[in-house]
Homo-oligomer: A and B are copies of this chain.
Amino acid sequence: MVIVLNSSTTPEQIEKLKQELENYGCSVWPTYGQFQTILGIVGDTGKLDRDYLLSKTYVEKVLSVQEPYKKANRTFHPENTIINIGNQTIGGNQVAIIAGPCSVESREQIVNIAQEVKAAGAGFLRGGAFKPRTSPYSFQGMQQEGLELLKQARAASGLPIVTEIMSIKQLENHHEDIDIIQIGARNMQNFDLLKAAGQINKPILLKRGQSATVEELLMSAEYIMAGGNEKVILCERGIRTFETYTRNTLDLSAVLAIKRLSHLPVIVDPSHAAGLWWMVDSLSKAAVAVGADGLIIEVHQDPSNAKCDGQQSIKPERFTSLMKSLREIARIDNRVL
């Protein structure tokens, strides 16, 4: 950590601050300039509170040189984390493909899609039972019944299931039924939910909030990991920018940033990022080319009659042909899919 003091700081203030920092177990190395004094701080700076330091009137800036997350940090855990789910893995040499409809609508619908995406090579089935919707008047998902249908689709296809939970109560009631528990973008900083997710022993798919920095995403992962659950899969799903042609702006650089900063696997959701079905193919290919550990793609037999997000879903035939292209791209980096 680096603390920049303004030119009017007295030697007494510097000495007092120095001792305070040393009491936290840090060592302090000052640099004296004409307009500023710079304090270099090393040691266990994790205990220092940036806000507290900034509130001193003679402190001009506090610059962090170390990341504020520990368990999610690649520095302290250099190898990639590989998460095992049934006979599948996420984070290793295999590119994980999660596919399925935005929301579960009927037994027939979800079982059929499960079988179709399995046949095309997907490793996991997605489907929403509890749906976060901007409007209280929109379809809110089939709730518990949807979850039961997902379980039937799992039984029929053999695919592990991925679904979102939106509250601690849903997490408590249903986590045993779900193979990968999704925490959505809107809940990325619902800290009570993150803490609860840290107490269970199931992989968590944590989506990036639409205005969250990479560092904030990793801090939210840290909340889960600090509770004891280290099976966290991160997901880039587009960020909010001024551009309105797409629903959000897919940030593929974030995949590279996350993989450098953290050992956790990171997947990409091209469907929600663009919000446009005809972009899904190309963005999926780009995501595999950039090195993402997997994809989560919306597939629906009849998008025009989907109960939600039809405009961003592709049909099973298109998904099947996309899988072929993705396999070829993965092969270039010696990965399988």
Contacts and interface: CB of A to CB of B under 8 A. Distances in A.
Interface of A: 2, 4, 29-36, 38, 40-43, 46-47, 49, 51-52, 54-57, 60-61, 63, 65-66, 68-69, 75, 132-139, 166-170, 186-187, 189-193, 195, 209-211, 213-216, 219, 222-223, 226-227, 239-246, 249-254, 256-257, 260, 273-274, 277-279, 282-283, 285-291, 303-311, 313, 325, 328-329, 332
Nearest to A55: B310
A100 B220 CA distance: 28
A297 B330 CA distance: 23
| Copies of this chain | 4
B136 A65 contact: no
Given A40-B29, A132-B191, A253 B246 contact: yes
Given A55-B304, A304-B55, A251 B253 contact: no
Which 4 A-B pairs give the minimum distances between C-beta atoms?
A: A55-B310, A31-B40, A33-B42, A211-B211
A314 to B, nearest CB: 11
A308 B51 contact: yes
Contacts of A139: 49
A253 B252 CA distance: 10
Given A253-B283, A256-B279, A243 B40 contact: no
A199 to B, nearest CB: 13
A66 B122 CA distance: 39
B243 A2 contact: no
Nearest to A257: B245
Contact of A166 (B192, B250, B290): B192
B38 A42 contact: yes
Nearest to A61: B65
Contact of A304 (B56, B137, B242, B256): B56
A282 B273 contact: no
Given A40-B29, A241-B241, A285-B290, A226 B137 contact: yes
B189 A138 contact: no
